[in-house]
Amino acid sequence: MRKVNRGGGWPAVFYTWQKAREVGGLWKLWKAMRSKNACKTCALGMGGQSGGMVNEAGHFPEVCKKSLQAMAADMQGAIKPDFYSTYTRAQLQAFSPRELESCGRITTPVMLRQGEQYYQPISWEEAYRRITGKLRSVTPDETFWYFSGRSSNEAGFLLQLFARIYGTNNVNNCSYYCHQASGVGLTGSLGTGTATISLEDLDQSDLVFVIGGNPASNHPRLMRTLMHVRRRGGEVIVINPILETGLVNFAVPGDVRSLFFGSSIASVYVQPHIGGDLALLYGLAKRIEAMGAADEPFLANQCEGWIELRTFLRNLSWDEIKHKSGVSQAEIDPIADRYAKARRVVFGWTMGITHHTHGVHNVQAIVNLAMLRGMAGKPGAGLMPIRGHSNVQGIGTMGVTPKLKEIVFDRLQQHFAVRLPTTPGLDTMGCIEAAHAGKVKLAVCLGGNLYGSNPDATFAAKALGELDLIVYLNTTLNTGHAHGLAKETIILPVLARDEEPQPTTQESMFNFVRLSDGGPARHDGPLSEVRIIAELAHRVLGASGPIDWLSMNNTGQIRQAIARIVPGMEQIAEIDQTRKEFHIGGRVLHEPRFSTPSGKARLFIHELPELAGDEGTLRLMTIRSEGQFNTVVYENYDLYRGVDRRDVILLHPDDIRRLHLTAGGRATIRSNAGAMQGVLVSPFDKIKPGNAAMYYPEANLLVPRSVDPGSKTPSFKCVVIQVEAAASAAQQPLAGISSDGDERAKSRANMRSC
Ligand code: SF4
């Protein structure tokens, strides 16, 4: 595989051509990308009323491979009618995530029942009848409702309302498996669960920490912002167990100088051991305190817990820090020195921080470090969880959580004159465990890939298999439709965001609410999420109740309710008239006023966890490639890491020697959750010995179901594994994990729709 020495650049430009050809030409792709719809991929936020490829600061063009991949996927042709009678359940299960995604758009409801081999196309009437019948035959708490962060605010609000009026709080979203620790950690420390800055704040920062993530792959437009921090003489400090190519140097295609000569991103790059972030963060705090760089007046007036934290830091030994982080004081001190000199600092992080059983502690340790120098509550400084899906934050704001905020609970009851259930709701892992135990019988999944995003994939398949009915609302096929099967599985085809018949709204990770105009449907068959939800609610709950559900198939009307019920969303009431997009009130902090009971930021103390594993094991982190977004795989190759397949384990050459493995040979990987055989051993010197990486979601077979007690998020980024050479060289590559060179994939590709 051709290696690249920087991210972005000409390969991104050529990739744009490739995608343009796939969808019928550059003009067709351009028009789709320029439509007034929010970008469908990540939460950095793009598009909306200022037109596609425009960011919150009004800068144009802003486009990246991720946004093109998502658009091209929605511009695919329809899955051919004979597809469902051609491929059996077993054959679909052998498809890779990429193969399923590229089968085309789902355009008809389909059903698969236990014991049957083929999905059957069914009519919408049949689908509604079956789902309604089942919902009426179980008790509300025998159901759960799972939401992806790709759906609109209106669909999220309406479906959580339907589920609650139906009688359950088993309502949760995909952030339980990604950024929940950010929400819980920030709320505990600052009283608010989202970013405290706007995108524009980054234009004033002179130092940005990028912790536990690879935005060069997953949020590429952030690279332009970081390039400008460096060009202004600022610093970017990257903390990541893997030395990521795009975080060292990134050629921003839309900037001529950068395109030709590249742009240095990281001014300092530090690689802790997997799971060593907490110790490293405390090491930095200890150094700041020791060098007298702590902002004592801020800590005294705006924070509580400083005295205890200072004592803890002074008693913490550098040996413990070094052992548990894998980073020496000699590396930590210069980073702290740079932090001490900076005036406006932003701390950004992703799942390398949240995907741990101590994820909440990691987030609170980042807040501690920020508070030590008063880096919140002023322009250009603050906390920035770099979130995943384009509307994952909006879905949370809409009340898609097991427990509603009290004010939202009260206002919902008042506004709709209803009594809402008060039974405790289950989080995502709680639902899977309950399904496995036979306590829930039915699940409704609005977008996403619940099976694919679950840890312990074998357990997840069994759990979903216990359900009487699972209903998926999706645009394209994914591994959940092949492996996450219940006794009866129904897939309902939905319209993409830019095909919606009515405007919808989305919220970016910077608390910015965009209005997406929608657009013409590309295929006959799929329906809007809001219309399906309104129809189902009408059929299940009837027309006699307090809510006229069919009239709720009106996103404008839903926005009127959101404006009256959800704090900070008042402006959404006029957005249809004003077309004025807005920041949610009370979220961006330019004054050090925190929404905690005391009005002060809370500093926490955490015991540093032991470094996972021992001599005979490795610490594994699951990773996303440059060719995927969350569970959706668009390309099998990982350009920035120089890897051309997904059935690999990335190991440092020293570990390959130490464990008597062969580079390019096959290995068996074991963990407490399961085992994977026939995994290709791929030498990778960009990770420290003792640590390893494999691709998500395929490696979820190895991820145990243990969760962070605060966020209920599994530890996808720290799994203790054993690696041994394959018993026999003849061991076949893994099923369902193909590489571009895989003949089977080629043969299937020719037989599929587009
Ligand atoms: S960085 Fe994120 S929001 Fe921006 S274009 Fe790319 S995928 Fe879309």
**Model confidence over 81-106: pLDDT tens digits?**
899 999 999 999 999 999 999 999 99
Cis peptide before 215 (omega within 30 of 0): no
Return mean pLDDT, the chain: 95
CA of 67 to the centre of ligand 1 (A): 5
Pocket test of ligand 1: the residue of 64, 150, 217 to mutate, having most ligand atoms within 8 Å of its CB, is 64
Q: What is the pLDDT of residues 529-569, one digit of tens each?
A: 999 999 999 999 987 788 999 999 999 999 999 999 999 99
* 399: number of Cβ within 10 Å: 22
CATH topology of domain 180-386: Dimethylsulfoxide Reductase; domain 2 (3.40.228)
Atom of ligand 1 nearest to the CA of 64: 6
Does the pLDDT value for residue 735 go beyond 50?
no
Q: What is the pLDDT of residues 435-444, one digit of tens each?
A: 999 999 999 9
> Would you say 398 and 562 are in contact if contact means Cβ atoms under 8 Å apart?
yes
Question: What confidence category does residue 257 fall into, taking pLDDT thresholds of 50, 70 and 90?
Answer: very high
Atom of ligand 1 nearest to the CA of 219: 1
pLDDT at position 286 is: 98
pTM of the prediction?
0.95
CA of 69 to the centre of ligand 1 (A): 11
Question: What confidence category does residue 747 fall into, taking pLDDT thresholds of 50, 70 and 90?
Answer: very low
CA of 536 to the centre of ligand 1 (A): 33
DSSP class per residue in 654-688: HHHHHTT--TT-EEEEE-SS-EEEEEEEEE-TTB-
Q: What is the pLDDT of residues 343-374, one digit of tens each?
A: 999 999 999 999 999 999 999 999 999 999 99
Atom of ligand 1 nearest to the CA of 220: 1
Q: Does domain 107-178+391-495+506-566 have CATH number 3.20.20.70?
A: no
Does the pLDDT value for residue 331 go beyond 70?
yes
pLDDT > 70 fraction of the chain, expressed in percent and rounded: 96
* pLDDT (mean) for 467-494: 98
Instruction: Identify the residue whose C-alpha is closest to ligand 1 atom 6.
Output: 64
Does the pLDDT value for residue 740 go beyond 60?
no
Instruction: Identify the residue whose C-alpha is closest to ligand 1 atom 3.
Output: 45
Atom of ligand 1 nearest to the CA of 222: 1
pLDDT at position 544 is: 78
* pLDDT (mean) for 235-250: 98
Pocket test of ligand 1: the residue of 19, 40, 67 to mutate, having most ligand atoms within 8 Å of its CB, is 67
DSSP class per residue in 170-189: -EEEGGGGTTHHHHHHHHHH
Q: What is the pLDDT of residues 402-430, one digit of tens each?
A: 999 999 999 999 999 999 999 999 999 99
CA of 79 to the centre of ligand 1 (A): 27
Question: What confidence category does residue 2 fall into, taking pLDDT thresholds of 50, 70 and 90?
Answer: low
pLDDT at position 728 is: 60
pLDDT at position 729 is: 52
The yes-or-no answer to whether 107-178+391-495+506-566 and 180-386 have a common fold is no
CA of 40 to the centre of ligand 1 (A): 8
Atom of ligand 1 nearest to the CA of 66: 7
* pLDDT (mean) for 174-187: 96
Q: What is the pLDDT of residues 590-638, one digit of tens each?
A: 999 999 999 999 999 999 999 998 889 999 999 999 999 999 999 999 9
pLDDT at position 1 is: 65
Spatial separation of the C-alpha atoms in residues 148 and 29, rounded to whole Å: 25
Nearest to 108 by CA among 439, 632, 631, 477: 477
CA of 701 to the centre of ligand 1 (A): 29
Question: What confidence category does residue 641 fall into, taking pLDDT thresholds of 50, 70 and 90?
Answer: very high
Tell me which amino acid residue 59 is.
H
Does the pLDDT value for residue 447 go beyond 70?
yes
Spatial separation of the C-alpha atoms in residues 692 and 242, rounded to whole Å: 9
Spatial separation of the C-alpha atoms in residues 194 and 215, rounded to whole Å: 18
Tell me which amino acid residue 156 is.
G
Atom of ligand 1 nearest to the CA of 508: 3
Does the pLDDT value for residue 383 go beyond 90?
yes
pLDDT at position 84 is: 98
Pocket test of ligand 1: the residue of 150, 221, 389, 516 to mutate, having most ligand atoms within 8 Å of its CB, is 221
pLDDT at position 57 is: 87
Which DSSP letter does residue 389 get?
A: B
CA of 344 to the centre of ligand 1 (A): 25
CA of 245 to the centre of ligand 1 (A): 19
Atom of ligand 1 nearest to the CA of 46: 3
CATH topology of domain 618-753: Barwin-like endoglucanases (2.40.40)
Q: What is the pLDDT of residues 655-709, one digit of tens each?
A: 999 999 999 999 999 999 999 999 999 999 999 999 999 999 999 999 999 999 9
Spatial separation of the C-alpha atoms in residues 180 and 392, rounded to whole Å: 10
CA of 498 to the centre of ligand 1 (A): 15
**Domain edges within the chain:** 7-74, 107-178+391-495+506-566, 180-386, 618-753
pLDDT at position 743 is: 44
* pLDDT (mean) for 17-38: 96
In this structure, the residues whose C-beta lies within 6 A of any atom of ligand 1 are 39, 41-42, 44-46, 62-64, 66-67, 219-221
pLDDT at position 732 is: 47
